[in-house]
Amino acid sequence: VREFHVPVLQAQAVAYAVPEPGERVCVDCTLGAGGHAEALLRAMGPAGRLLGIDRDPEALRLAGERLAEFGDRVRLVHGNFEDLGELVAQNGWGRTDAVVYDFGVSSMHLDRPERGFSYQHDAPLDMRMDTTQQVSARSIVNEYSEREISRIIWTYGEDRWAARIAKFIVAARQRAPLETTDQLVEAILAAIPQAARRGGPHPARRTFQALRIAVNRELEAIETSLPQAVDVLAPGGRLVALSYHSLEDRIVKRALRAEAGAESPRLRILTKKPVRPEDEEVARNPRASAGRLRAAERLAARPESTGPFGGGSAA
């Protein structure tokens, strides 16, 4: 690892998650290099505790080193935040005052060519965040139908050349299985007409993003996790979610609105519009430019909603 992941919108995320120091518990669902986790611990002060989750064993190892100074105020677990309720029940601290998400990959993933996330380095086609799972970019590209590959590139990459790229991938793999990022880039370049390639981002960018989202089932995990975050939060607790593209942000926005607008709402939205980074942050860290933060507060369950006919959750 050349350097640590540079956390995005950190001051804002921490201010929403930890409105004041004290005896609090934060759950960081996307520990990564532990940047946000460290800032959350400092903001809570010496009585604060944190449960950190990541699906990438390598991230857990690095964050563990970084957070060692906090001793037994920190617990780290390997897991997918789609199982948040269970992970918190088994490893949590009995109460949860904040749940924080910082979606997507970390710069550690992108800076490690051998993990196959980057179209700029030749590497085995992999893109798994959790290196213990089966499905990888290699299996999708070589085993899924042309139609399914096209759907993935269209839905998660929003690439207008999706159908042609899928066609070229399938033609290429009929000659020999695609094993490396370079071979995939080559198929993509062949599919997109020269004229359409000039200017703009690299032609492979959208396809790589799409495959990454599909390999790691990223959007499904977010959708499954958010209601569990609301379940585990104590009244007054905070939910903070940082997205990096519109597909993620849309899911967060809808989930928060559904909770806040329900008949017995469990959340109050704190960010009418998503919080965006200042120009100064984007200048320092271009990755921040896409960042959007949304936050909400867990409402106390109303007394009538805890009764046998209330239907509300008092968790």
Footprint (CB under 6 A) of ligand SAM, residues 68-97: 80-82
Helices (H) and strands (E) in the chain, counts: 14, 7
Q: 97 or 218: whose CB is closer to ligand SAM? A: 218
Q: In the complex, what is the shortest distance from the CB of residue 308 to ligand SAM, in angstroms, rounded to a whole number?
A: 35
Q: List the one residue out of 159, 147, 136 whose CA is nearest residue 205.
A: 159
β-strand pairing of 267-269 with 238-243:
unpaired
Kindly give, in sequence order, each residue whose CB lies less than 8 Å from that of residue 67, ignoring residues fewer than 6 positions away.
34, 37, 38, 41, 50, 52, 74, 76
Whichever of 183 and 228 has its CB closer to ligand SAM, that residue is 228
CB-wise, 181 or 228, nearer to ligand SAM?
Answer: 228
Nearest to ligand SAM of 61, 268 (CB atom): 61
CB closer to ligand SAM, 162 vs 222:
222
Q: Which of residues 27-46 bind ligand SAM (CB under 6 A)?
A: 30, 32-36
Q: CA–CA separation, 310 vs 31, rounded Å?
A: 36
Report 215-244 residues binding ligand SAM (CB under 6 A): 221
Least distance (Å) between residue 173 CB and ligand SAM: 28
Please give the Cα distance from 27 to 257 (Å, whole number): 22
Q: By CB under 6 A, is residue 126 in contact with ligand SAM?
A: no
Contact between 209 and ligand SAM per CB under 6 A: no
Tokens of 202: 């690299």
User: What single string gives the DSSP state of each residue in 129-143?
Assistant: SSTTSS--HHHHHHH
Which C-beta is closer to ligand SAM: that of 31 or that of 187? 31
* Sign of torsion over alpha carbons 96, 97, 103, 105: negative
Instruction: Assess 7 for contact with ligand SAM (CB under 6 A).
Output: yes
- Residue 159 binds ligand SAM, judged by CB under 6 A: no
Q: Which residues bind ligand SAM (CB under 6 A)?
A: 5, 7, 30, 32-36, 53-56, 59, 80-82, 102, 104, 106, 129, 221
